Amino acid sequence: MLKPIPKRVLVTGENGQVGQSLKAMAQNYPQFAFYFAGREQFDLASDDTIKLFFSAQVFDAIIHCAAYTAVDKAESEPALANQINHLAVAHIAKLAKEQNALLIYLSTDYVFDGRASQPYDEAAQTCPINLYGQTKRDGERAIIAANPSALIVRTSWVYTKYGHNFVNTMLKLGRQRDELNVIYDQIGTPTYAPDLAAAILVMLNAELVGSSLEGLQSEKRTDKNVSIFHYTNEGVCSWYDFAQAVFEMAAIPCRLQPIESLAYPTPAQRPGYSLLSKARIKQAYGLQIPHWRESLARCLLYQGKRI
Ligand SMILES: NC(=O)c1ccc[n+]([C@@H]2O[C@H](COP(=O)([O-])OP(=O)(O)OC[C@H]3O[C@@H](n4cnc5c(N)ncnc54)[C@H](OP(=O)(O)O)[C@@H]3O)[C@@H](O)[C@H]2O)c1
The share of the chain scoring above pLDDT 70, in percent, equals: 92
pLDDT value of residue 214 = 42
Q: How far apart are CA 20 and CA 29, in angstroms?
A: 15
**Domains of the chain (ranges, CATH numbers):** 7-164+191-233+276-289 (3.40.50.720)
Q: What is the CA radius of gyration of the chain?
A: 19
Which H helix or E strand runs over 43? Answer: none
β-pairing verdict for 187-188 and 237-238: antiparallel
The predicted-structure confidence for 97-149, as pLDDT tens digits, reads as follows 999 999 999 999 999 999 999 999 999 999 999 999 999 999 999 999 999 89
> Residue 80 in contact with residue 29, Cβ under 8 Å?
no
Q: Is 16 in the pocket of ligand 1 (CB under 6 A)?
A: yes
The predicted-structure confidence for 209-231, as pLDDT tens digits, reads as follows 885 454 444 455 344 556 999 99
The predicted-structure confidence for 245-292, as pLDDT tens digits, reads as follows 999 999 999 999 999 999 999 999 999 999 999 999 999 999 999 999
What is the number of the ligand 1 atom nearest to the C-alpha of 132?
47
Average pLDDT over the chain, rounded to whole? 93
How close is the Cα of 257 to the center of ligand 1, in Å?
30
- For residue 117, give the 3-state DSSP assignment: coil
Q: Which residues are 102's β-sheet partners?
A: 61
- The residue type found at 15 is N
Nearest CA residue ID for atom 34, ligand 1:
39
Backbone angles phi, psi at 291, to 5 degrees: -70, 150
How close is the Cα of 138 to the center of ligand 1, in Å?
16
The predicted-structure confidence for 15-41, as pLDDT tens digits, reads as follows 999 999 999 999 999 999 999 999 999
The predicted-structure confidence for 165-218, as pLDDT tens digits, reads as follows 999 999 999 999 999 999 999 999 999 999 999 999 999 999 998 854 544 444
Which H helix or E strand runs over 158? Answer: strand 158-159
How close is the Cα of 253 to the center of ligand 1, in Å?
32
Confidence check: pLDDT of 56 > 70: yes
Average pLDDT for 91-98: 96
Q: Is 68 in the pocket of ligand 1 (CB under 6 A)?
A: yes
pLDDT value of residue 305 = 53
> Residue 22 in contact with residue 64, Cβ under 8 Å?
no
Q: Which of 85, 16, 73, 30 is nearest to 205 (CA)?
A: 30
